[in-house]
């Protein structure tokens, strides 16, 4: 009896700590009209709009505001979601390490210094991902090395909607 109370209290404390370690921003997503002939379940990123759309079908999509690649770092094309990670650790790619040589080799998941935020969806094209951020002020800007940044609450919502192999189309 005493052990189960201790276990319940420890579990509640761990949940509270885990939730506090991942900032939850306001849910910025909207259901909007959407055309373009994309199949339901497709993720479409329009970098010029700084928006990511999760296509629902029947002319509707969930729209999320995003941060996109800086000038010279943006890309366009198709990919699929190749990985799904909650509280991912981050290993800076070679280009980032070149520009910021003082970064550690790995930044643990949940760290305030980890740019991946609450979750990451890795893409089959290059070293890119759709991920959360611990810098919510970067959403809406051209701020990354090519990754798509989302508010943490929004990446968690998208994470629950997509699976491995989900098509991702990035346009300018």
Which of 131, 132, 133, 166 does the annotation list as catalytic? 131
| CB-side neighbour CA atoms (13 Å) of 100 | 8
CA angle (141, 144, 147) in 5-degree steps = 110
- Cβ burial of 29 (10 Å; 0-12, 13-18, 19+) is buried
Which of 43, 147, 153, 158 does the annotation list as catalytic? 147
Residues 82, 163: Cα–Cα separation, whole Å: 9
Active site residue 98: no
CA angle (122, 128, 134) in 5-degree steps = 80
Active site residue 43: no
Catalytic residues, which ones?
131, 147
């Amino acid at each position: 009896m005493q052990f189960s109370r201790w276990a319940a209290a420890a579990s509640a404390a761990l949940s509270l700590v885990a939730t506090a370690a991942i900032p939850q921003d306001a849910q910025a997503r909207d259901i909007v009209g959407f055309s373009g002939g994309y199949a339901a379940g497709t993720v479409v990123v329009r970098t010029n709009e700084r928006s990511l759309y999760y296509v629902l079908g029947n002319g509707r999509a969930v729209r999320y505001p995003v941060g996109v690649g800086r000038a010279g770092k943006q890309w366009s094309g198709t990919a699929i979601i190749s990985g799904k990670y909650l509280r991912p650790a981050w290993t800076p790619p070679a280009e980032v390490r070149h520009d910021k040589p003082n970064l550690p080799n790995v930044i643990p998941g949940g760290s305030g210094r980890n740019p991946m935020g609450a979750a990451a969806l890795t893409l089959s094209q290059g070293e890119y991902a759709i991920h959360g951020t611990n810098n919510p002020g970067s959403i809406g800007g051209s701020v990354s090395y090519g990754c798509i940044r989302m508010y943490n609450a929004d990446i968690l919502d998208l994470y629950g909607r997509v699976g491995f192999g989900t098509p991702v189309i990035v346009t300018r």
